[in-house]
């Protein structure tokens, strides 16, 4: 694993947001959802996330998650993915989204 310094870490902006909409991304090779996420003052951002193993689209709506918001936009399976939704991964469970344990304002900085 490559080490980074503290200044590198400070450049990464991880923010909380609330999922407004989750629809199946039919263009994705691996099952994925297109997420519309409200980051408060940063606006509504789109992401493509391979989280169908553990989440139904209807259960994602209203869920507050954490995401990296300052990566460049990346085209993923026909979607301009503006943020990288964060989750823990294991072979057994797949991706489990990172959520705050209590509700916070959308756009709050994680650090």
CATH number at residue 90: 2.40.50.140
The pLDDT assigned to 111 comes to: 83
The Cα 108–Cα 99 span in angstroms is 12
* Nearest Cα to Cα of residue 52 among 80, 23, 90: 23
pTM summary value: 0.93
111 within domain boundaries: no
Whether residue 109 lies inside any domain: the answer is no
Rounded Cα gap, residues 45 and 63, in angstroms? 15
Q: Is residue 89 part of a domain?
A: yes
Q: Which residues of the chain have pLDDT under 50?
A: none
Domain count, the chain: 1
Other residues' Cβ atoms within 10 Å of the Cβ of residue 31: 12
| Full domain range(s) for residue 98 | 6-102
């Amino acid at each position: 694993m490559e080490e980074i310094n503290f200044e590198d870490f400070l450049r990464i902006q991880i923010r909380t947001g609330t999922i407004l909409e989750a629809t199946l991304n039919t263009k994705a090779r691996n099952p994925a959802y297109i997420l519309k996420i409200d980051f408060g003052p940063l606006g509504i951002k789109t992401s493509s996330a391979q989280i169908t193993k553990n989440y139904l689209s209807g259960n994602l709506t209203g869920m507050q998650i954490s995401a990296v918001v300052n990566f460049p936009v990346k085209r993923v399976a026909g979607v301009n993915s503006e943020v990288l939704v964060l989750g823990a991964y294991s072979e057994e469970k797949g991706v489990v989204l990172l959520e705050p344990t209590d509700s916070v304002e959308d756009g709050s900085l994680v650090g």
